[in-house]
Amino acid sequence: MAAVRRRLAPLEDYARGVLAGDRATLARAITLIESGRDEDLALAQELLQRLLPATGKAHRVGITGVPGVGKSTAIDQLGINLVEAGHKVAVLAVDPTSTRSGGSILGDKTRMARLAQSRSAFIRPSPTSGTLGGVARKTRESMALLEAAGFDIVIVETVGVGQSEVAVAGMVDFFLVLLLAGGGDDLQGIKRGIVEIADLIAITKADGDNVVRARRAQATYQGALSILAPATSGWVAPVLTISAQENRGLDALWEKIIEHREAMTASGVFAARRGAQAVGWMRDLLQERLLSALAADARVAARLAELEGEVRSGRRTPALAVAELVAMIGLGAPATRDTT
């Protein structure tokens, strides 16, 4: 009974602190979410269940762009505008290297210096643990904690390279792609697949001598989007020009985000997307737990190594190898053994 009381005490402390918006408790709760220890995982899931009624009310916005596009400057200025309008803004910076560096909290706050100083803002790296599954689990769960803490706008920033953009687009309500004009061919430097999942494209640094190039790029991308299937049914992704340096175009950008949410809510797409995202989250967790169970079973792990050798040498098909492993953990019929 004493052990149970010790376990429940931190759960209550975490829940109370997060709901009260206590920043120190929120930071510790996110660290708990990111932990790989079994006991921390169990406590984290209990905490999320306790906080579930307080989640789901924020605007979830994903923002990506290639390095040098001015992403941090744009998020910093947009965040300041939103805070001044009375919002509470949180930024999760997806950090694929944090497993080596231990995170880059100082770096993130330096890049968004003004926003980091606001008591109505919270900036935190979201480590991937080297896998897209890491993005899916830890970023989603961190978003839930931030919503429970009262942040009504949660921005998820990606580094603009790799496949993390697709993962992030699958967990937010609105996906914004930032592009830079004046690099020669305006359609190069970013994958078509990223443009296809954009709900809005913003051409950055549209100031000074770059205004004409930015408008030219705007027309180019608007033309390209007209022949692509929309990322969201019933919504044609607009292309805007912005200047974070001069704080121009960001109010119009946010108005489009609000317009998107209102349209999607009225059509039922918003609720359907949120529901599909929750189910996708569950399936990702199921896959993660099954793989963890395989790795934790010494007998299965040993056989896994043997089967990998057989598959590598061509003595067994991958399908039969998987069938045998699944049967070993009691989830399927035994595989047919190859006796040749």
CATH number at residue 39: 1.20.5.170
Pick the closest to residue 40 from 14, 22, 73 (CA basis): 14
pLDDT in tens, 297-311: 888 889 999 999 999
pLDDT in tens, 12-21: 999 999 999 9
170/246 same-domain check = yes
In this prediction, residue 162 carries a pLDDT of 57
Alpha helix (H) ranges present in the chain?
Answer: 2-19, 23-34, 38-51, 71-84, 98-101, 105-111, 113-116, 132-134, 140-148, 164-169, 192-196, 211-225, 250-267, 269-296, 298-313, 318-328
Residue 315 pLDDT greater than 80, yes or no? yes
118/150 same-domain check = yes
**309-333 CB burial, b ≥16 within 10 A, e <16:** ebbeeeebeeebbebbbbebeeeee
Contact 61, 174 (CB under 8 A): yes
Q: Please, what is the average pLDDT of the chain?
A: 83
Residue 192 pLDDT greater than 90, yes or no? no
Q: What are the φ and ψ backbone dihedral angles of 244, each rounded to 5 degrees?
A: -70, -35
> For residue 70, is it within any domain?
yes
> For residue 302, is it within any domain?
no
The stretch 129-140 carries a mean pLDDT of: 61
In this prediction, residue 104 carries a pLDDT of 46
Residue 74 pLDDT greater than 60, yes or no? yes
> For residue 286, is it within any domain?
no
The stretch 63-87 carries a mean pLDDT of: 93
Which two structure tokens, joined as six digits, stand for 248?
């121009």
Q: Which carries the bigger pLDDT value, residue 327 or residue 230?
A: 327
Centre a 10 Å sphere on the Cβ of residue 249 and count the other Cβ atoms it contains.
Answer: 20
Contact 252, 216 (CB under 8 A): no
Look up the pTM and report it: 0.82
Residue 203 pLDDT greater than 50, yes or no? yes
CATH number reported for the structural domain that contains residue 246 in this entry: 3.40.50.300
61/159 same-domain check = yes
> For residue 273, is it within any domain?
no
Q: Apex CA 117: angle with CA 110 and CA 138, to 5°?
A: 70
In this prediction, residue 262 carries a pLDDT of 96
In this prediction, residue 221 carries a pLDDT of 86
Q: Residues 6 or more apart from 336 whose CB is under 8 A from it?
A: 320
* Domain enclosing residue 219, as ranges: 55-266
121/258 same-domain check = yes
DSSP state of 88: -
How confident is residue 200, by pLDDT bands cut at 50, 70 and 90? very high
Least confident of 109-113, 198-202, 253-257, 258-262: 109-113
**7-34 CB burial, b ≥16 within 10 A, e <16:** eeeeeeebbebbbeebeebbebbbebbb
Q: Which carries the bigger pLDDT value, residue 231 or residue 41?
A: 41
pLDDT in tens, 219-275: 988 887 877 777 777 888 999 999 999 999 999 999 999 999 999 999 999 999 999
Q: Residues 6 or more apart from 258 whose CB is under 8 A from it?
A: none
78/171 same-domain check = yes
> For residue 317, is it within any domain?
no
> For residue 282, is it within any domain?
no
80/180 same-domain check = yes
Number of domains in the chain: 2
